[in-house]
Amino acid sequence: MPRTAFFISDGTGITAETLGRSLLAQFESVEIRMITKPYIDDAEKAQALVNSIHATAARDGEQPIIIDTIVDENVRRIVSTAPGFKVDIFSTFLKPLEEELATHSTYTVGRTHSIGQDDVYMNRIDSVHFALDNDDGARLNQYDKADVILVGVSRCGKTPTSLYLALQFGIRAANYPLTEDDYDEDGTLKLPRALAPYRNKLFGLTIAAPRLAAIRSERRPNSRYCSMDQCMQEVAQAEALYRQMHIPYIDTTRFSIEEISTRMIAEAGLHRRFSPR
């Protein structure tokens, strides 16, 4: 039988959901229905949630899993009356930390994902703007300001990776699509002239041809753009260019954006302007 997991917070719920999903991902054989409940920040909302958890337990025939980051003592007390296996993240870790640091926690709701330091927040926004402005080779004259320039064939994951690097780490990532305009007369892919001065900033992305064809089919079905032959040719040419020019690269086929980004940071030695939140 499937189990239900509730991620509960009196703030955004991002911390509870992130930690909860990381923990539950280790149990691949168990089907888990995940429900996030943010902003449970008063007694009325807490009691309504408890009633919902009771109904879920009766429906499933199994006690739900409850993972919470509730700070407010009164709300936490009400939620504790719900039936379920409870993982109270803050009470589990804050108390030992208070003892170690010899001071009391501020127990402030929403502190993890608040704006906090203005310079960190503005750095995040500036990095996202940079990624958007420099998507798909839009502004070649800004590459001197980039921390990294992602290169690869169309639809291999350059744009979402660039945005993730910006949002999570403050990395200024541009990206450039390898297209037929970059081929020599003999049909060989060459390093685009715009990228030549920035070879030390280049990082390549590649992808399995069948996966690429499937992705492109959603955008332009029954076209040469999504044909297997076209995809195989483009991927082979791109990988040959990476090897020839000693450009580090990652196969994105089976990796999430999070994995692609962190592997890239490690391999390229990129500087994180802040840690992910």
Confirm or deny that 155 is annotated as ligand binding: yes
Confirm or deny that 158 is annotated as ligand binding: yes
CA 47, 48, 49, 50 torsion: positive or negative? positive
Confirm or deny that 69 is annotated as ligand binding: no
Whole-Å CA distances, 270 to 51, 196, 241:
48, 20, 22
Distance CA 244, CA 239 (A): 9
Q: Which of 249, 135, 133, 143 is nearest to 194 (CA)?
A: 143
**Longest CA span, the chain:** 73
Q: Which of 156, 169, 137 is nearest to 269 (CA)?
A: 169
Q: Which of 13, 57, 53, 54 is nearest to 37 (CA)?
A: 13
Confirm or deny that 95 is annotated as ligand binding: no
Confirm or deny that 226 is annotated as ligand binding: no
Number of C-beta neighbours around residue 3 at 10 A: 18
Give the bridge partners for 151, in sequence order.
176, 204
Confirm or deny that 11 is annotated as ligand binding: no
Confirm or deny that 9 is annotated as ligand binding: no
Confirm or deny that 269 is annotated as ligand binding: no
Number of C-beta neighbours around residue 182 at 10 A: 20
Asked if residues 152 and 177 have their Cβ atoms less than 8 Å apart, the reply is: yes
Distance CA 98, CA 85 (A): 25
Distance CA 146, CA 80 (A): 49
Asked if residues 57 and 33 have their Cβ atoms less than 8 Å apart, the reply is: no
Binding residues for ADP: 152-159
Q: Would you list which residues are annotated within the binding site?
A: 152-159
